[in-house]
Amino acid sequence: VFKLMDGYLKNDSVSLQKAILDHVEFTVARSRFSFDDFEAYQALSHSVRDRLIERWHDTHQYVKRKDPKRVYFLSLEFLMGRSLSNSIINLGIKDQCVEALSQLGFELEVLAEQEGDAALGNGGLARLSACIMDSLATLDFPAWGYGLRYQYGLFRQVILDGFQHEQPDYWLNFGNPWEIERVHISYPVKFYGTVEEEIVDGKKFKIWVPGETVEAVAYDNPIPGYGTRNTINLRLWAAKPSDQYDMESFNTGDYINAVINRQKAETISSVLYPDDRSYQGKELRLKQQYFFVSASLQDIVRRFKDLHTNFQEFPDKVALQLNDTHPSLMIAELMRVLVDEEHLDWNEAWGIVGKAFSFTTHIVVLEGLEKIPVDLLGSLLPRHLQIIYDINFLFVEDLKKRFGSDYDRLSRMSIVEEGPVKNVRMANLSIVSSHTVNGVSQVHSQILKTKVFKDFYELWPEKFQHKTNGVTQRRWIVGSNPGLCGLITKWLGTEAWIRNVDLLLGLRQHAANPELQEEWRMIRRVNKKRLADYIEAMSGVKVCIDAMFDVQVKRIHEYKRQLLNVLSIIHRYDCIKNMKKGDRRKVVSRVCLIGGKAAPGYEIAKKIIKLVHVVAEKINNDPDIGDLLKLVFIPDYNVSVAELVVPGSDLSQHISTAGHEASGTSSMKFLMNGCLLLATADGSTLEIIEEIGEDNLFVFGAKLHEVPSLRDKARDFEVPRQFARVVRMVREGYFGFGDYFESLCDSIEGNGGDFYLLGNDFMSYLEAQAAADKTFVDQERWTQMSILSAAGSGRFSTDRTVGEYAEKTWGITPCKCP
Ligand code: 26V
């Protein structure tokens, strides 16, 4: 219907308008003379989707014909957020869409708001996956993403009386125009059963006789590149009952219950695990991981076999990137396929595995590493457990040759952890089986080599690489801050920075220019106004946009120290209260915003959320304080809330105890948007300091090398009286709920010591805060720092990250669709 003579859909506003109206009538099934915002959103999305599909097809055909080496980005989590605006921007059809809609009486921005977030992930690791997909597409790399299509994404956070409650995120309720259901692309995934032997041509082979089969069905999500036709695929798997699933129940004659039982198969992909700190050895989680791994590998092997017969060529055509250890069962699965099904001998298969996999870790502390109880693995995947044991046996034999009877070392490095409960250490498996291992910031990669994976580094120094994370400027400037985007383009005289972000450096030379500064402030003010309106709508708190918007938004964790932030806000409040009236005029007004989700079982994190609310209640209703200080908790922080918050912030906080944040990526988004950072010398902040210079942000706190000795001394450390005072206020119920916060206060003052060193960093934190206040008064200086921040943010684009992975880890080159 839509195709014109040249075979492609047209992107002018008239064609788009016709497409929208046709979709209103034939897809949404409404009258083209009367439809509401949501229906218009649906119709527009389908019009955009059609255009995505064209390019996605072309990309596939072209890449298939060229058959270059491809990278498969394997991740259990993707935090994609909304797709409409991003797709329109990357397709380069924004102006046309705006025009087409305006003649129909609609606004693009309003329609975009109709879309719910795709929140198939927890935090940093998952948003990184999404940014990486955008860069892979934009840089024309032959790449695929693989993930799970959870029916329930990350829980929705609802605040009742200041407490977090979790509600289901049934995001598919109103349909999802961005996915393509591929009913014909499905694979059986097997569980349980036994391992037997079979003889083929006189040779013995192990054969897994599984007990249960579930079907994995593909849902494809086109990911368009910017300024290119290349549109890659994010393939997400959903579980469905297979024809064989639970046939026994049918044979017993209980038809209704048998049908109901079949739905159990679907639970595998039903819900995302929301705790991003602890692995609890739950069977469902393990099933999810293997379900993902098995389906993805069958798909990858099928694609390989379409054009190749010799598995020795596999690593020349396939790079398998493990996003943390979550997909690392694929190592055992590839061995199983090669040895048991393809009948390669073990060493050949092992050589192929070792050339195919690369592994990125996103954790800093040993305790954060994933372990799977041997019993659980043995019952769910008996053959895989054997394979892992065999890999380990050969590995430990090698170690013995090298390190003799250094049994401590052998037991630390072993893939199998002995003890009352035996576990498989997934990171050890991943390191042993991959050709490269990398951390996500310079300091993180260093910590891996010297601490977390020290033994492995000593064994294989050449395996250890480093890749600093990034974020995509397409979503985080062009999409979320169109005002700044236009201004940057104007001053650089080109839009080229959207694909080549190093060009942002060109802003440096104008940083002191009053004309740019004025325009820069204007844009930032508009963004602040938008954020202020949102704050008021959601919390009822009116905030003044002349105040400094001071923001900390991220998952709530003790190590991220939201508590330190709250304590300093209490201190600020206390100071203002105790000031003479006349002195209050000198106070720099602040609007403090804190947002983020706590894992449902994380008691302390939940108490921090409650504390923010009680402190906010007191401060915001204190007539002595007025506009000098406001505190607001932003509920249900997610990607689309971030798109609103980031451009409207003046100061953003990244204040983890040194050595605890592997990288941190939200700081990079704030930096790109010209928000100043208040930060500790941790994770990627160290590189940000290197790039923009110490003078252009506010750094404080203990340094990495000081942390261990400070911890040793923590018990004897005499905390500053200002710190003791604010903690006492909380403990003694100044804000109400006294008892309730007892354990929270104990976590920083009790016998366990102040593990995250809040007391220790408090004074230098207050100094950094004071420096921020002082600078804010000097708006010229502030604006200059703001411009220099954005100018120096180029290094923190995933375009750079992905380019480095492609060259140094995956060995792939661009394959640009003409
Ligand atoms: C663990 C678990 C355990 C149980 C199931 C669900 C789940 C999901 C995630 C995790 C590990 C989370 C690790 C993570 O998100 N790390 C963050 O990765 C960012 C990207 O590299 C980095 O910027 C952050 O510093 C790091 O904390």
ipTM of the complex: 0.98
Same domain, 317 and 175: yes
pLDDT for res 713? 87
> Which residue lies with its CA nearest to atom 8 of ligand 1?
276
* Shortest-distance atom of ligand 1 to CA 665: 23
* Shortest-distance atom of ligand 1 to CA 126: 15
Same domain, 581 and 463: no
Structural domain span for residue 539: 525-796
Residue 61 in any domain: the answer is no
Residue 264 in any domain: the answer is yes
Q: Kindly give the distance from the C-alpha atom of residue 514 to the centroid of ligand 1, in angstroms, as a whole number.
A: 42
- The residues annotated with a catalytic role in the active site are 362, 554-555, 560, 665, 669
Which of 267, 260, 262 is closest to 282 using CA atoms? 267
> Which residue lies with its CA nearest to atom 7 of ligand 1?
276
Residue 450 in any domain: the answer is yes
Same domain, 663 and 732: yes
Residue 480 in any domain: the answer is no
Same domain, 533 and 461: no
Residue 25 in any domain: the answer is no
Q: Kindly give the distance from the C-alpha atom of residue 597 to the centroid of ligand 1, in angstroms, as a whole number.
A: 14
Provide the 10 A C-beta neighbour count for residue 351.
Answer: 15
Residue 265 in any domain: the answer is yes
Q: Kindly give the distance from the C-alpha atom of residue 818 to the centroid of ligand 1, in angstroms, as a whole number.
A: 37
Q: What is the length of the chain?
A: 818
In terms of DSSP H, where are the helices of 482-561?
A: 482-492, 514-539
> Which residue lies with its CA nearest to atom 10 of ligand 1?
276
* Shortest-distance atom of ligand 1 to CA 664: 23
Q: Kindly give the distance from the C-alpha atom of residue 176 to the centroid of ligand 1, in angstroms, as a whole number.
A: 26
Q: In this structure, are residues 143 and 73 in contact, taking their beta carbons and an 8 Å threshold?
A: yes
pLDDT for res 6? 60
User: Quick one: tokens of 725?
Assistant: 């005072």
Is residue 777 classed as helix, strand or coil in its secondary structure?
helix
Mutate to test the pocket of ligand 1, among 75, 76, 79, 125 (most ligand atoms within 8 A of CB): 125
Mutate to test the pocket of ligand 1, among 276, 371, 682 (most ligand atoms within 8 A of CB): 276
Is residue 175 classed as helix, strand or coil in its secondary structure?
coil
> Which residue lies with its CA nearest to atom 18 of ligand 1?
125
Same domain, 460 and 557: no
Residue 56 in any domain: the answer is no
Using CB distances shorter than 6 Å, the residues near ligand 1 are: 122-125, 128, 273, 275-276, 279, 362-363, 440, 469, 661-665, 683
The DSSP secondary structure of 730-751, one letter per residue, reads HHTTTTS-TGGGHHHHHHHHST
Same domain, 224 and 130: yes
Residue 73 in any domain: the answer is yes
What's the one-letter identity of residue 622? D
Same domain, 533 and 413: no
For the chain, the domain total comes to 2
* Shortest-distance atom of ligand 1 to CA 124: 19
Residue with tokens 């004074």: 763
Same domain, 449 and 530: no
Same domain, 442 and 536: no
pTM: 0.98
pLDDT for res 7? 73
Q: Going by C-beta distance under 8 Å and a sequence separation of 6 or more, which residues neighbour residue 702?
A: 657, 658, 680, 710, 757, 760, 761
Same domain, 627 and 753: yes
Q: In this structure, are residues 499 and 226 in contact, taking their beta carbons and an 8 Å threshold?
A: yes
d(CA 295, CA 186): 8
Same domain, 674 and 562: yes
Question: How, if at all, do strands 548-553 and 203-209 pair?
Answer: unpaired
User: Quick one: tokens of 391?
Assistant: 């890999």
> Which residue lies with its CA nearest to atom 4 of ligand 1?
279
Q: Kindly give the distance from the C-alpha atom of residue 715 to the centroid of ligand 1, in angstroms, as a whole number.
A: 30
> Which residue lies with its CA nearest to atom 14 of ligand 1?
125
pLDDT for res 283? 97
Same domain, 438 and 555: no
d(CA 590, CA 616): 13
* Shortest-distance atom of ligand 1 to CA 128: 20
CATH code at position 706:
3.40.50.2000
User: Quick one: tokens of 749?
Assistant: 């003052």
d(CA 480, CA 646): 8
> Which residue lies with its CA nearest to atom 6 of ligand 1?
276
Average pLDDT of each block of 10 consecutive residues along the chain (818 residues)?
64 98 98 97 98 98 98 98 98 98 98 98 98 99 98 98 98 97 98 96 95 96 98 98 80 85 93 94 97 99 98 98 98 98 97 98 94 98 98 98 95 97 98 98 98 98 98 98 98 98 98 98 98 98 98 98 98 97 95 98 98 98 97 98 98 98 98 98 98 98 97 88 98 94 92 90 98 98 98 98 98 97
In terms of DSSP H, where are the helices of 342-424?
A: 346-356, 374-380, 382-403, 407-413
d(CA 755, CA 103): 60
